[in-house]
Amino acid sequence: MTYRLLHPCLAAVFHPDEYEVRPERGVVNERSCLIMTNQVKGRGQERSSYWIDASRDFSILRYIGSVDGHVRVQLDVEYSQSGQTDWVPSNWILVRTASDGSLKESSVSKVVRFDINPSIDSEQFRLDFPPGTRVRDETSTSTPDYIMKDAGNKRVIRPEEIGSTYDELAATDPDRGNYQGMRVIRWVLMGIVLCGLLLFVMRKKWRQLR
């Protein structure tokens, strides 16, 4: 909620249209705050509220989650100014309580270093998988599924191979020809089985006719 406000897990539960601004104001560390609160649908008397400092770029100073009027979680955040206009979290206190009011968790966090929009080498985001690793890359349309081979080579898994076991995929390679050989052997074996079944049925019917 402090440095990861746009994380999907937070975006999934925060729906601004469900909140209303309370007529009263709150005070956190001697700063006047707007209070936005909601009634969580389908969860009884569970409520969430955000205490917002409009004078500092609408920074969230406090979050409170309550059930049946009892505070179950409270997060208080302090900010420091970075540069001329940016306000960034500098420390925060998180307190969680159990249903009986007893302390469940308490933590104090302090930011010792941060960078805003730093320049990061793209190589830092490159993943090097060891040989034998099966990879599913949902960002790629050309090689979404593959097994990592030596020297950075990839054993691409074709759509028709989805469902094959890892050992079957690792033992074949479409680009080296043995894949086609394995397919031929598989079809031959299937043909032999089908012929055997057909002969069995025909022989059984022939005996019945006799």
Tell me the CA distances in angstroms from 102 to 48, 72, 106, 126, 174, one per residue in order.
20, 10, 11, 46, 62
* Domain co-membership, 103 together with 153: no
* Domain co-membership, 168 together with 188: no
The dihedral region occupied by 69, where left means phi > 0, alpha psi between -120 and 50, and beta the remainder, is left
In a domain? residue 1: no
Q: Please answer whether residues 95 and 73 qualify as being in contact, where contact means their C-beta atoms are separated by less than 8 angstroms.
A: yes
**21-25 LR contacts (CB < 8 Å, sep 24+):** 22/49
Residue carrying the six token digits 């409270």: 74
Predicted local distance difference test score (pLDDT) of residue 75:
94
Please give the Cα distance from 52 to 63 (Å, whole number): 9
Q: Please answer whether residues 176 and 156 qualify as being in contact, where contact means their C-beta atoms are separated by less than 8 angstroms.
A: no
In a domain? residue 207: yes
Please give the Cα distance from 74 to 92 (Å, whole number): 10
* Domain co-membership, 106 together with 169: no
In a domain? residue 64: yes
The residue among 62, 115, 109 whose CA lies nearest residue 86 is 115
* Domain co-membership, 89 together with 142: no
* Domain co-membership, 164 together with 185: no
* Domain co-membership, 170 together with 186: no
What is the CB neighbour count within 10 angstroms for residue 96? 15
* Domain co-membership, 25 together with 55: yes
pLDDT at 141 over 80: no
In a domain? residue 194: yes
* Domain co-membership, 67 together with 80: yes
What's the predicted TM-score (pTM) here? 0.56
pLDDT at 91 over 90: yes
pLDDT band at 72 (very low <50, low <70, confident <90, very high): very high
> Which neighbouring-strand residues pair with 82?
86
The residue among 2, 25, 7 whose CA lies nearest residue 87 is 2
Q: Which domain holds residue 187?
A: 181-210
* Domain co-membership, 31 together with 79: yes
Give 153-209 pLDDT, tens digit per residue: 888 888 888 888 899 888 887 766 554 555 566 667 788 888 888 887 787 777 776
Q: Please answer whether residues 155 and 169 qualify as being in contact, where contact means their C-beta atoms are separated by less than 8 angstroms.
A: yes
Domain end point (choices 110, 142, 158): 110
* Domain co-membership, 127 together with 97: no
In a domain? residue 3: no
* Domain co-membership, 31 together with 65: yes
Mind giving me the DSSP string for 68-83?
TTEEEEEEEEEEEEET
Please give the Cα distance from 100 to 70 (Å, whole number): 9
DSSP, collapsed to helix, strand or coil, labels residue 54 as helix
In a domain? residue 137: yes
* Domain co-membership, 64 together with 39: yes
pLDDT at 88 over 80: yes
> Which neighbouring-strand residues pair with 177?
none
- Greatest mean pLDDT range, 43-57, 98-112, 119-133: 98-112
In a domain? residue 2: no
In a domain? residue 80: yes
The number of distinct structural domains making up the chain is: 3
DSSP, collapsed to helix, strand or coil, labels residue 12 as coil
Domain end point (choices 110, 129, 154): 110
Q: Please answer whether residues 29 and 79 qualify as being in contact, where contact means their C-beta atoms are separated by less than 8 angstroms.
A: no
